Amino acid sequence: MRWGSLARRSLEWSVFSLVVAVVVSGCDRSLSETDSWPNKPGPKVVVSFAPLYCFAVNVAGDDAAVKNVMTTTGPHDFNPTEQDARLLSQADIMFVIGLGLDEHIAKKMKDGSGNTKLRIVELAERIPKEKLCEGVCTHAHHKDDPDHKHDLDPHVWLSPEHAIYLVKAIRDELKAADPERAANYDRRAAEYIAKLEKLKADGLAMLAGKADNRLISFHDSLAYFADCFRLEIRGVLTPKPGQEPDEREMKKLIRICTDETKPTRVIAVEPQYSKSNSGEVLRKELELKGVNNPVLAEIDTLETVKPADLTPDWYEQRMRANLAELAEKLK
């Protein structure tokens, strides 16, 4: 399994379920500020992580309340708390990406919350199948077995084009749950989709005319982003988020980056994994091997957020920061 081992988590989960059972059955003290739901007329919506918060809150407006679950720990590493379960115990809809990223966590949280009526919506299911891909193949056995199967890459939110499908799915779900205010959801979704289209157009303009459009991705997260903005991901630094490359993988990356037909000098690093120095190790190796001006580019995959930073326009801001960083670093 590529996107985290469930087996490894089973013990943590049984502890979690126990905690939640106690909370849900025996607790009627007043909810703290972060648990409490603002008084809005429409459905109560929970999302798994930050980009989905921005998508949902822009469509929900003042009609439906939206709460985000994962903050400083993203979907690859998340362990829910009892506060998360309290939130779910009162929610009507939970939006997740799916594709193996966050739907298993969501289902366990739903079971733990005791809220059998909660509707979990896997938004990536609403993206046309031909627009989904398997990410960058780093499997060593690829040549021997070209038919081997990969899981689909869940990092769809990093392409504004794919994000539009997610926003439309959110709009349709809110309309179905709250038909009285359907026209409002339609209007706000259209306004937000226009912003996402502008984001894509601005990004393409910022990166237009770059002869050097190649980069090494930090974890395998940038396939849709690269497709949308016409960049080429030449390799992946960490086989799994947070797992450092071994010597064989590092040698392979050096070989890829020093390929004379496609020299690659920009290495993405992620603020979430700032302790990892593998990007800098590769950069120094490339410098020694004569690659011209190898550089690190800080790319936020938008999987984590500081709660205080999460505003409705956070997604656009962070995406624009990523695009500006690449516009500066790519030549």
Q: In the beta sheet, which residues pair with residue 158?
A: none
Q: Which one of the spans 60-68, 219-227, 245-253, 283-291 is the region binding Zn ion (CB under 5 A)?
A: 219-227
Judging by DSSP bridges, how do beta strands 93-96 and 44-47 pair with one another? Answer: parallel
Q: Which one of the spans 37-45, 173-181, 218-226, 242-250 is the region binding Zn ion (CB under 5 A)?
A: 218-226
Nearer to Zn ion by Cβ, of 42 and 241: the residue is 241
Place of tokens 């979690």: 16
**How far apart are the C-alpha atoms of 264 and 256, rounded to whole Å?**
8
Q: Which one of the spans 43-51, 91-99, 221-229, 268-276 is the region binding Zn ion (CB under 5 A)?
A: 221-229
Q: Say whether residue 238 binds Zn ion (CB under 5 A).
A: no
* Range 243-251, long-range pairs (CB < 8 A, 24+ positions): 244/276, 244/278, 245/278, 249/138, 250/278, 250/281, 250/282, 250/285
Nearer to Zn ion by Cβ, of 45 and 70: the residue is 70
Nearer to Zn ion by Cβ, of 63 and 102: the residue is 102
Residue from 115, 159, 184, 221 in contact with Zn ion (CB under 5 A): 221
Site string for Zn ion, 254-273 (x = CB under 5 A): --------------------
**How far apart are the C-alpha atoms of 184 and 315, rounded to whole Å?**
22
Which residue of the chain is nearest Zn ion when measured via CB? 221
Nearer to Zn ion by Cβ, of 113 and 221: the residue is 221
Q: Which one of the spans 31-39, 106-114, 166-174, 214-222 is the region binding Zn ion (CB under 5 A)?
A: 214-222
Q: Quote the least distance from Cβ 154 to Zn ion, whole Å.
A: 7
Nearer to Zn ion by Cβ, of 221 and 278: the residue is 221
DSSP 214-279: EEEESSS--HHHHHHTT-EEEEES-SSTTPPP-HHHHHHHHHHHT-TTS---EEEE-GGGTT--HH
With CB under 5 A as the rule, give the number of residues binding Zn ion. Answer: 1
Q: How far is residue 279 from each of residues 50, 211, 244, measured CA to CA in Å?
A: 25, 23, 10
Nearer to Zn ion by Cβ, of 44 and 219: the residue is 219
Name, in order, each residue with C-beta under 8 angstroms of 229's C-beta and a sequence gap of 6 or more. Answer: 200, 203, 204, 207, 323, 326
Q: Quote the least distance from Cβ 54 to Zn ion, whole Å.
A: 17
Residue 157 one-letter amino acid: W
Residues 52-91 that bind Zn ion (CB under 5 A): none
Nearer to Zn ion by Cβ, of 101 and 257: the residue is 101
Output phi, psi for 252, to 5 deg.
Answer: -65, -40
Nearer to Zn ion by Cβ, of 99 and 326: the residue is 99
Q: Quote the least distance from Cβ 222 to Zn ion, whole Å.
A: 9
Q: Dihedral (C-alpha) 9, 10, 12, 18: value to the nearest 10 degrees?
A: 150
Q: Quote the least distance from Cβ 91 to Zn ion, whole Å.
A: 24
Q: Quote the least distance from Cβ 268 to Zn ion, whole Å.
A: 12
Where along the sequence are the contacts to Zn ion (CB under 5 A)? 221
